[in-house]
Amino acid sequence: MKSSEAAILVVDDEREITGLITLYLQREGFTVHTSDNGEDALRIAETLIPDLILLDVSLGRTDGIEVCRTLRQGVCANVPILFLSCKSEDRDIVRGLSEGGDDYITKPFSPSQLVARVQAHIRRRRTRERVNEEQIVNINFPGLDIDFRSMEVRLEGELISLSAKEFELLCVLARQPNRVFPLEELYQRVWHSDSMGDTRTLMVHISNLRKKMEIDPSRPRWVQTVRGFGYRFCPDNNCEERSSIPN
């Protein structure tokens, strides 16, 4: 997996630390989003569903432990969460891990070691996802049925005709509903190569997929745009398109 395919959310109210972490992660090709408070972090995480979250324990009004508990009850239940903290006593580490954290990094830390741990957690998550995807033979949502073996898609019971690439694109998105996929990652997963910065082919296929699936392609219900970032598959009728995700 290339680092450029991974989105990291860094939550810390110390700007110097956030800046340092962002610098090192971006050098490795990660897409980095930041927040300095728990409320904003929850909003970004629930929209973006990042590949990993670096979460400071001490955040003021809503601390990191509380943020972690909330994330574990929603769409980020399986996203790796690495706590950052000045507290290094055993009881603090045990508390962080028992509340849903996957790792605990004490400050001050080595930026290169932090990046290595981030990469290790993402590799493990990607491996689990790949194994789970290979075991899925069909997906059923209200009004939509996808059969991976026969490559058939039925919308409200009616068979719709998709090209091979349109079907692959829908499968990648539908296997991880609500997750926002960057354009480059989608291109790599479906075309198995780098887009070299030209994602027009992907956008044309998204447009064609919407024409076949959506009642009103200009107001998509299934395949939605998160402007400035990418696309997501939304099985919930209450899903709304987001205009942007702040960095």
DSSP string, 151-172: TEEEETTEEE---HHHHHHHHH
Q: Which of 203, 164, 211 is nearest to 187 (CA)?
A: 203
pLDDT single digits (tens) 185-236:
888 888 877 777 778 889 999 999 999 999 999 899 999 998 888 999 998 7
pLDDT bin (cut points 50, 70, 90) of residue 243 is very low
| Radius of gyration from C-alpha coordinates of the chain | 19
The percent of residues above 70 in pLDDT, for the chain, comes to: 91
DSSP 8-state code for residue 105: E
pLDDT single digits (tens) 53-102:
999 998 877 789 999 999 999 889 889 999 998 887 788 888 888 888 99
- Tell me, yes or no, whether 212 lies in a domain: yes
Q: Which domain holds residue 117?
A: 3-132
58: CATH: 3.40.50.2300
**H helix runs in the chain, sequence order:** 15-27, 38-48, 64-72, 90-98, 111-135, 164-175, 183-191, 200-213
Which of 97, 132, 167 is at the close of a domain?
Answer: 132
The percent of residues above 90 in pLDDT, for the chain, comes to: 53
- Tell me, yes or no, whether 242 lies in a domain: no
162: CATH: 1.10.10.10
- Tell me, yes or no, whether 238 lies in a domain: no
Instruction: Using DSSP, state whether 83 is helix, strand or coil.
Output: strand
Helix or strand (DSSP H, E) at 119: helix 111-135
**Do residues 44 and 150 both lie within one domain?**
no
The tokens of 139 are what? 């997906």
Can you say whether the dihedral through the CA atoms of 190, 239, 148, 217 is positive or negative?
negative
β-bridge partners, 3: none
Which of 116, 132, 148 is at the close of a domain?
Answer: 132
Peptide bond between residue 108 and the one before it cis (omega within 30 degrees of 0): yes
- Tell me, yes or no, whether 48 lies in a domain: yes
Number of domains in the chain: 2
pLDDT at 131: 67
**Do residues 30 and 125 both lie within one domain?**
yes
pLDDT single digits (tens) 156-188:
999 999 998 899 999 999 988 988 898 888 888
